[in-house]
């Protein structure tokens, strides 16, 4: 399962990077959302999967799944929510001010300063 999930995370990253490299700012944001999903899965996989019970203390259970990656991913999930929201609003405001959603057209011009 670990190998399969590692490959799956790789596929998710591939899709995410492809989206991020495109010109439409909407696709870029969706790409970052996808990238964070991939990262969360990746961290989980690297910690090892299903090595024991859920990390909640129960009498008679000795083997638990590694809780540390889970804690890290939990933090990451919430942070990525904040970042995605920020990104969304940034894109929205940029569209309002500049009238375009094409990242290439948003390129700054040195002659402005």
Partner 1 sequence: MSLLHLAILLPLFASLFIPIIRRSLHRIHTGWFVLAVPVSLVLFFSRFVSEVAAGGVRMEKMPWIPSLGIDFTVYVDGLSLLFALLITGIGALVVLYSIYYLDKKESLHTFYVYLLLFMTAMLGVVLSDNMIVLYLFWEMTSISSFLLIGYWYQKERSRYGAQKSMLITVFGGLAMLGGISILSLLADTFSIREVIAASGAFKDEPFYIAALVLILLGAFTKSAQFPFHIWLPDAMEAPTPVSAYLHSATMVKAGLYLVARMSPVFADTPLWFYLVSGVGMITLLYGSVSAVRQTDLKAILAYSTVSQLGLIMSLLGVGSLSSEGQQDLALAATVAAIFHLMNHATFKGSLFMMAGIIDHETGTRDIRKLGGLAQVMPVSLTIALIGTLSMAGVPPFNGFLSKEMFLTALTDLMHGGVRDLRTYGTILLVLGVVASIFTFVYSLMLVKETFFGKRNELPKKAHEAPVGMLVSPLVLVTLVVLVGLFPNALAKPFIIPAVEAVALKTPKVDIYMWHGFNLELALTILIFGLGAFLVLTLRKWNRQAGAGLFNRIYDASLVYGERSSTGLHDAVMTGYMRSYLVYIFGFIVTIVLSTLWLMDGFSLPDRASDVTAYEMILLGVMLISAVAITFARSRLTSIVLLGVVGYSVALFFVLFRAPDLALTQLVIETVSVALFLLVFYHMPDISRKEERIKFKLGNAAISILVGATVTLVALSALAGREFASISSYYIKNVYDLAGGGNMVNVILVDFRGFDTLFEISVLAIAALGIYAMIKFRKTGGNPR
Partner 2 sequence: MKHTNDVILETVTSVITFIIFLFAVHLFFAGHYTPGGGFVGGLMTSAALVLVLLAFDLKTLRTILPFDYKWITTLGLLISVLTASGALLFNVPFFTHAYDYFDLPLFGKTSLHTAMLFDLGVYLVVVGVTMTIIQTIGESD
Residues 48 and 13: their CA atoms lie apart, in Å, by 19
Q: Which of residues 18-77 bind partner 1 (CB under 8 A)?
A: 18-24, 26-27, 30, 33-34, 37-38, 40-42, 44-57, 64-68, 70-75, 77
Shortest separation between residue 23's beta carbon and partner 2, angstroms: 24
Shortest separation between residue 60's beta carbon and partner 1, angstroms: 14
Helix (H) or strand (E) holding 12: helix 2-20
Burial of 9 (0-12, 13-18, 19+ CB in 10 A): buried
Q: Give the residue from 74, 64, 79 showing the smallest Cα distance to 32.
A: 79
Told to check if 89 binds partner 2 by CB under 8 A, we report yes
Site string for partner 1, 80-109 (x = CB under 8 A): -xxxxxx-xxxxxx-xx----xxxx--xxx
Q: Give the residue from 81, 107, 106 showing the smallest Cα distance to 95.
A: 106
Told to check if 112 binds partner 1 by CB under 8 A, we report no
* Residues contributing to the site for partner 2 (CB under 8 A): 54, 56-57, 74, 78, 82, 85, 88-89, 92
């Amino acid at each position: 399962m670990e190998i399969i999930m590692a490959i799956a995370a790789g596929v998710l990253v591939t899709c995410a990077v492809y989206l991020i490299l495109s010109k439409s700012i909407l696709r870029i944001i969706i790409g970052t959302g996808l990238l964070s999903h991939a990262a969360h899965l990746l961290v989980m996989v690297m910690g090892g999967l299903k090595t024991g019970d859920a990390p909640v203390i129960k009498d008679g259970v000795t083997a638990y799944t590694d809780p540390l990656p889970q804690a890290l991913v939990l933090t990451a999930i919430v942070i990525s929510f904040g970042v995605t929201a920020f990104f969304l609003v940034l894109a929205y405001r940029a569209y309002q001010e500049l009238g375009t959603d094409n990242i290439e057209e948003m390129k700054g011009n040195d002659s402005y300063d």
